[in-house]
Structure 1
């Protein structure tokens, strides 16, 4: 199998800051509707797609992939037309200098992240760590022109195309559009094939601001089993110690053991490892000391909780202007998710 690069590129490029996922949701609906038995959108904006299983015993598997991307929101337009903003999700401020962004107002307009030029900084300012408040967006327009198209409350996303670099893909919003892509591609592979239990494929909203969509969706689905799909840190860079790496690019799908919000069910971890080994899928363990994913909502917000875990995609440069994932790792994640959904009834969950 080869990666569908045009689809992955389109998914990454399509804007969808937390709370403003309409465009990426429309893309998901277009791709997923022909692949499932039922599809709907809840009040919060989650896409809820169901592929019915053959067992007929009412057991439900929820698979969650969040659609939103880290972004910004307009808070002020000054007398000279410069735009101030606050974040929607977490950013590393030092990566923003002179980067292009898109403000989604009455029409999409490109701007540039600006800050005080180094030539006029004091020695103390030069040595200071950048903070978000140092930045503004330069639209190249007067205030009067800006106000024709932009207002307080408009969302902002990064302006970057997907490119292929060596064995990797590089783009904005790999977190978490690569998981959206993986879930779509898995549903494509399952089209026409029977699965043991009902699969509730949920493309969630507002993960980057507190796992809000997954909480609502899990409460509605009330899953017996849960699998979240999300990126994780690959700190396999110069200077990294072996124990700091968390995951590495090119070493396969990551099976989450825990993060700061979730201790994955030991049975799900064992099931994923066994399934990967039996199918000869390359995998690596993941323990993430900081950060959380939709796994937390899927595990805890159903009425009785869920036997839950996560398949994570190793990613470099997370929460920066661009992010990078390995093509084979993405393929391994698709293969592992498909195998888990097909074999989930064959595991002894009683111990």
Structure 2
């Protein structure tokens, strides 16, 4: 039986998936897509690629991406006392993660640590802490101010396989979905909510034996937070001229996007202008379905698709965003957003790819 979508989202959120080590998340997505796809494989970049054959061999293929990786930390050095100094993987700050328990993914053991600044009951004699106080330097807390307490010796950490380069993630104990009225909250809805929508769209597309016009490559990509690495590889190696990304999008007044509104069709971001014909078609499909699609021009933002187009690896790019509060923080989306996004995507994929406009 297919996993219910709320349960699937919760399972994906609990799985650790730092950049370059997304295997636990990939395994869950693979389990869900294998019954729906004609071919499933993991490529050289760590992407999961699920191919659904179309009915018309002459129709253009489409690549649809949603990324596996999450914002995380990486060990910069192991101090002699067993504490870890860390940097971020992706654009994230300690205040976004919140101080508290973390998982240190050693090669031979996963350890629990605590991301900490130190005691507030300190004076200028503790300058690292004092700098962040309003009556001190009033600096925003950054990675130079915090460390991970492990309770282990440096030798213990070495035996566990912890060293510079080891990934550190928000602990699983802090990754449960929170229900806030009609909304859901968690870290890493970026991009686990989009992965859930990808699976849901595949189910809708294949319902009652349905198939798209052209081949559809459903790609769960690696290392998006480090520059769209997996999507660049997939766009270069898979057939087709269109890469359509699924990702969160900031529900902010700046963009006239609301968190309880419909899926967001992006027309541009910091990297590219998205394909107008595809964006218009997504909007039209959303309106036909009564999904009240929103439109946006994102800033301080890029996606799998826009990074691939900017690199010259896809001729056409599109982005369908899930409107989300507090992106790259403790994120919140409406409980109906995943379903609405999946319905729009499935209906779009069930139609021929619109021709290039201009």
Q: Pairwise mapping of residues 304-343 of structure 1 onto structure 2 (< 5 A)? A: 305-320=314-329, 322-343=330-351
In the alignment, what sits opposite 2:118? 116
- Shift in Å, 1:231: 0.7
CA contact (8 A) 2:79 2:154 kept: yes
Change (3 A) 1:179 1:62: same
CA contact (8 A) 1:97 1:115 kept: no
How many residues are paired up?
A: 340
Q: Pairwise mapping of residues 157-176 of structure 1 onto structure 2 (< 5 A)? A: 157-159=169-171, 160-176=175-191
- Shift in Å, 1:134: 0.7
Inter-partner Cα distance in structure 2 for 1:124 and 1:154: 28
- Decide which moves more: 134-143 or 179-188: 134-143
CA contact (8 A) 1:104 1:156 kept: yes
- Shift in Å, 1:146: 3.1
- Shift in Å, 1:3: 6.5
- Decide which moves more: 99-108 or 38-47: 99-108
Inter-partner Cα distance in structure 2 for 1:77 and 1:307: 44
- Decide which moves more: 40-49 or 137-146: 137-146
CA contact (8 A) 2:272 2:310 kept: no
CA contact (8 A) 1:222 1:301 kept: no
The one of 270, 276, 279 aligned to 1:269: 279
CA contact (8 A) 1:37 1:51 kept: yes
Q: Pairwise mapping of residues 138-287 of structure 1 onto structure 2 (< 5 A)? A: 138-152=149-163, 153-159=165-171, 160-191=175-206, 192-235=209-252, 242=253, 244-287=254-297
In the alignment, what sits opposite 1:130? 141
- Shift in Å, 1:55: 1.1
- Shift in Å, 1:96: 4.0
In the alignment, what sits opposite 1:67? 68
Inter-partner Cα distance in structure 1 for 2:167 and 2:352: 40
CA deviation map 1:300-345 (0-9, x unaligned): 5676x4332111011112212x211111222211111011001235
**Partner SS, residue 12 of structure 1:** helix
**Partner SS, residue 62 of structure 1:** strand
**Partner SS, residue 281 of structure 1:** coil
Q: Pairwise mapping of residues 80-95 of structure 1 onto structure 2 (< 5 A)? A: 80-95=81-96
CA contact (8 A) 1:221 1:302 kept: no
Moved beyond 6 Å, runs of 4+: none
Structure 2 residues not aligned, in runs of 5+: 125-129
Inter-partner Cα distance in structure 2 for 1:46 and 1:144: 35
Change (3 A) 1:349 1:75: closer
RMSD (CA atoms): 2.0
